[in-house]
Amino acid sequence: MVRHVPAEAQGDERGALLAFIEEQRGGIRRALLGLTEEQARSRPSASELSLGGLLKHVAEVEQIWIARAKQEPAAVTRDESNWHESFRLVGEETVASQLAYWEQVAAETEKFIRSVPSLDDTFPLPPDPWFPPEGRVSLRWLCLHLIRETARHAGHADIIRESLDGRTAFELVAEEQGGSWG
């Protein structure tokens, strides 16, 4: 399912940030267009990354960050023993089930960001060395981080998709819109 943030919802800062997050989500969703489960699970390069695994990862990461901002537990707890599973479809997980889950996560992200009193509000971070040393970040920072995280993996998705069948982002955008590229 393709989510679009209506133009009237993009007129403020929150709407703009949410639109940029959604734009990057679209890049990952489009990379999966027309692929079989086998193709989505395949790793066509020296990397361990697959399109299905990237999909799962970005959905989990987005959910974890929103839960962290709400100071609630994450839906999935990852540590050294199971971190590798965040980049791989396992068991009964499918592209369709992960897309549906991400749709729920995206709706919760939008609802939360639109409901907070201010994007300047902050929340605490765990004392891990990869987080900003201040120990707190704003909700604006969170939105920008989700854009960065999703965009990084959308770029990975472009490369993986092109490695699978030669299809580029331009072709996939055209297909999604019912046309053809070139």
Alpha-carbon distance 142 to 144, whole Å? Answer: 5
Q: For the segment 83-139, what is each residue's pLDDT rounded down to a tens digit?
A: 889 899 999 999 999 999 999 999 999 999 999 999 999 999 988 888 888 899 999
Residue 113: predicted pLDDT: 98
What does the alpha-carbon distance between residue 36 and residue 20 come to, in Å, rounded to a whole number?
A: 28
Mean pLDDT, rounded, of the chain = 91
Parse the chain into domains and list their residue ranges: 11-176
Tell me if 66 sits within 8 A of 123, measured CB to CB: no
Instruction: Transcribe 48-111 into DSSP letters.
Output: S--HHHHHHHHHHHHHHHHHHHHT---SS---TTTGGGGGS--TT--HHHHHHHHHHHHHHHHH
Q: What does the pLDDT look like over 140-149, one tens digit per residue? A: 999 999 999 9
Superfamily name with CATH number, domain 11-176: dinb family like domain (1.20.120.450)
In this prediction, residue 4 has a pLDDT band, given cuts at 50, 70 and 90, of low
